[in-house]
Amino acid sequence: MEGFDAATAVRPPAPSRTAASVATHPSADAAAREAALARRRRIAGIAFAAAGAILFSGKAIIVKLGFRFGADAITLLALRMLVAFPLFLLMGWWAARRATRPLTAGERWRIVGLGFFGYYLASFLDFAGLAYISATLERLILYLTPTLVLLIGWAAFGRRPRRAQWIALLVSYLGVALAFGHDLQGGDRGIALGAALVFGSAMAYALYLVGSGEMVGKVGAVRLTAYASSVASVLCIGQFLLLRPLSALVLPHEVYWLSLVNGTLCTVAPVLMVMLGIARIGSGLAAQIGMLGPVSTIVLSMLVLGEPMGPWQVAGTLLVLGGVLLVSRAPATRR
């Protein structure tokens, strides 16, 4: 005991575990909290992007059901935008309050043009085409939009695609050709017209995406989307008033319930969800998660609409998804 006491008498006291913890734990705890927050943010972003893609795909199912109750494309489009219009105005008001500056006259006119191409013309051609083709084929054609953006960038700005992207383009269009051939076997001549209308819709939206690139940085994504969608709402409602009598609104109550769902859950809600997803995980990953759209359309068209699904459509879907994924991931080069 005496030797033990002598040894401890000259040995310096060891630092306590509590003191060491105080010195090291604050930074470790902060890092752990940041990592946990990043994980939650990523999970939330993935969930927002996935839900937005699935809800967007439900639009085609809603429109096909509306046709079965006797409504036409112009009426269904007007009802959809009539429901969505107040919500877009509310989004625009909220975004304007947070904006650092008002819009210039040139920006206002560009937003009108973007609203015409991206949300009015693209929506009208899409709704019109759905009267002739299946919801699955419609979704696959619309998913060619990234390939059209690539081609427009090459033609207008000299961003020449790489060899891998050319291969991806061929794969994507081969997939659509397979799905188109499957539907064409039914002998309905309107399929070609419907496919052309939906392809025109994809082209109109591709023009919107190309034209909105610079505007997003200047105006802001929320404000641009809200304003352009509001312009489209006015055009869609005005088109109905010009081309249809008010008696065309005498429709089964199911059409109005479907339009309520279409304007909220399949229009405004996915717009917000996709933007929230992009803010958390970036546009690249959000675009890849958006591949759920065609898959969910296929499932919904089989379960809700009873549309057949053959092996050619499955093969076409896989080719389109694979091609679009390659196009979206590979950068383009300048000539």
| 185 and 238 Cβ atoms separated by less than 8 Å | no
In degrees rounded to 5, what are phi and psi of residue 107?
A: -65, -35
pLDDT score, position 187: 55
- Report which of 78, 40, 8 is spatially closest to residue 256, judged by C-alpha positions: 78
- Mean pLDDT per 10-residue segment, the chain (335 residues): 42 51 63 82 86 88 93 95 95 90 91 92 93 86 83 81 80 81 69 91 88 81 90 96 94 95 92 82 71 80 80 78 70 49
**Cα separation of 240 and 242, whole Å?**
5
pTM comes to 0.80
pLDDT score, position 128: 94
Where exactly are the structural domains of the chain? 48-334
pLDDT score, position 26: 63
**Cα separation of 116 and 208, whole Å?**
9
pLDDT score, position 91: 93
pLDDT score, position 310: 72
